[in-house]
Structure formats: structure tokens, C-alpha cells
Amino acid sequence: MARMPQLLQGKRAFVTGGGRGIGAAVVERLARDGAHVAFTYVSQPDRANTTAAAARKLGVQALALQADSADAAAVVSAVGGAAAEWGGLDIVVCNAGILVMAPVDAYRLEDFDRMVAINLRAVFVATQAAVKHMGTGGRVITIGSCNAERMPFQGGSVYAMTKAALVGLVKGLARDLGPRGITVNNIEPGPIDTDMNPASGAFADNLRALMALPRYGAAQEVAGLVSYLAGPEAGFITGASLLIDGGFTA
């Protein structure tokens, strides 16, 4: 059987929150498509090292870098380390995110601040740091949420706010970076089977009832869309927010 062409052969990618879930699937897919991949993780170094080892088995270089996305200096340092290792970057995927749900009258301000720091500020920080090392053809991809478009249950207002803000940020960044030949796009997953939101979890049946396709998505399906946006066929897509949600917002 002929081997599929590696459309990202030799590209240099940086992924935040790549140690597990969607992030780990993105790391593996980019590696399978030929890119060298550096990624951040906060905890569980054994799991992060396993992800890096799996990428290396695909014939690319991989770096697991411990950095909390709430710490702007740590994010900048990790981006700089990856760029120094490879002499630049071609792709940045801002995937790190958290979810804290609570009714508005019980929401803790410290949880609000951490959600904004990780889900929104870290995206800007990582992008700002990465584009200093990018040339024409660079790709910035953010992982948002379908909850930017629809929040059908109580307690998710702050999460929805952070993901909706990404839509505007991406449009603005696309304008800023378009003259440099760098595209910026946002992916909005629906319910995806991960540690954060397992297909067997307490909310799973309720979420499936809201979808056109009554199943959870796989992290690998999101990773496939990331790879497409990172590749040569997506060079005319920028400023877009693309749903991959099984019809959650249909």
C-alpha cells in the first residue's frame, strides 16, 4: 500500500495543552502528517512523555514542555524554547482550556479570572510570542467551543463568554497577520469524548439529545480539522470559526 503524503513534512508546530485529550490527538496527528511538535502540559509528566514518545515513533522531533497557560511568562518561555530548538515556527495551536461551571450568583471571582487567563489571555500570549518566529504561510489555530454559539444549560456563562471572545480575537488577528501571509482560524468543537467531558459522563445523555448526530465526537476528528487548517489546502481560509459539533448548533 502506498504511503499517504505528509502534507506537513518538516513543519514546526507548537501546541498548548498537548498532554491529553484533544491536545494529545492534535500532537499525534500533526506528527503523523510530518510536523515536528512541541507542546505544553501542566501536570502528569508521564502522560506527556508518552505523548511525545508516540510522536517520535512517527519519525519527527517532539518536545514536552511543562508550562501552566495561566502563567504568561511560562507560555512565552515555552514558545521561545521551541522556536530556538528548530529555528522558527510554522504552526501554533492554542488548545489549552479549562471549564468551571457554577450559577452566576455563586461564581467565584478567582475561577472567573483563571478561566479568562487560560481560555483567552493565554491564546493571545502564545500567538503574540509565536508569530515573532513565523514567516509567510504561518498558521494560528485556536480551539474554541460550540458554546460560543449556544449555551443550552445553566452555569456555563463564563465559559461561553471566553469562547465567544475567541471568535472576535481571531477575526482581529486575521486582519493583523494577513498582510504577513499568516492565517488565523478558530475551531469550535461540540461534545468530544475526553477526560473533561466523557461520553459516559453525567451530562452525556442530555448533550446527545441536543445534537443532530446523537453521538460524541472523537478527539481525532478535531485533530483532523486542525491538520487541514495547518496544511497547504487551507491557505485561503482566515478569520473563520468552524464548527465540528455533530449538529449541536443546527
Q: Which of 28, 26, 193, 156 is nearest to 96 (CA)?
A: 26
Task: Report which DSSP code applies to 217.
Answer: B
Architecture of domain 12-244: 3-Layer(aba) Sandwich (3.40)
What are the phi and psi torsion angles at 94 (to 5°)? Answer: -95, 95
d(CA 49, CA 39): 10
Does the pTM of the predicted model rise above 0.85?
Answer: yes
Q: Specify whether the CB–CB gap between 142 and 186 falls below 8 A.
A: yes
Q: Which of 19, 71, 70 is nearest to 45 (CA)?
A: 19
Domain borders along the chain are 12-244
Q: What was the pLDDT predicted at 163?
A: 98
Q: Specify whether the CB–CB gap between 42 and 212 falls below 8 A.
A: no
Question: What cell numbers appear for 205 in the block?
Answer: 445523555
d(CA 194, CA 217): 9
Q: What was the pLDDT predicted at 4?
A: 64
Question: What cell numbers appear for 236 in the block?
Answer: 485561503
143, containing H or E segment: strand 139-143
- Which SS3 state, helix, strand or coil, does residue 110 take? helix
Q: What was the pLDDT predicted at 196?
A: 82
d(CA 184, CA 239): 6
Q: Which of 37, 176, 9 is nearest to 93 (CA)?
A: 37
How does DSSP assign 114-127, residue by residue?
A: HHHIIIIIHHHHHH
**Residues labelled as active-site residues:** 159
From first to last of its 250 residues, what are the pLDDT tens digits of the chain?
A: 445 678 999 999 999 999 999 999 999 999 999 999 999 999 999 999 999 999 999 999 999 999 999 999 999 999 999 999 999 999 999 999 999 999 999 999 999 999 999 999 999 999 999 999 999 999 999 999 999 999 999 999 999 999 999 999 999 999 999 999 999 999 999 999 998 889 998 889 999 999 999 999 999 999 999 999 999 999 999 999 999 999 999 9
Rg of the chain taking only CA atoms, in angstroms: 17
Considering all CA atoms of the chain, what is the largest pairwise distance in Å, rounded to the nearest integer?
Answer: 59
Q: What was the pLDDT predicted at 203?
A: 83
3-state DSSP of 39-106: EEECCCHHHHHHHHHHHHCCCCCEEEEECCCCCHHHHHHHHHHHHHHHCCCCEEEECCCCCCCCCHHH
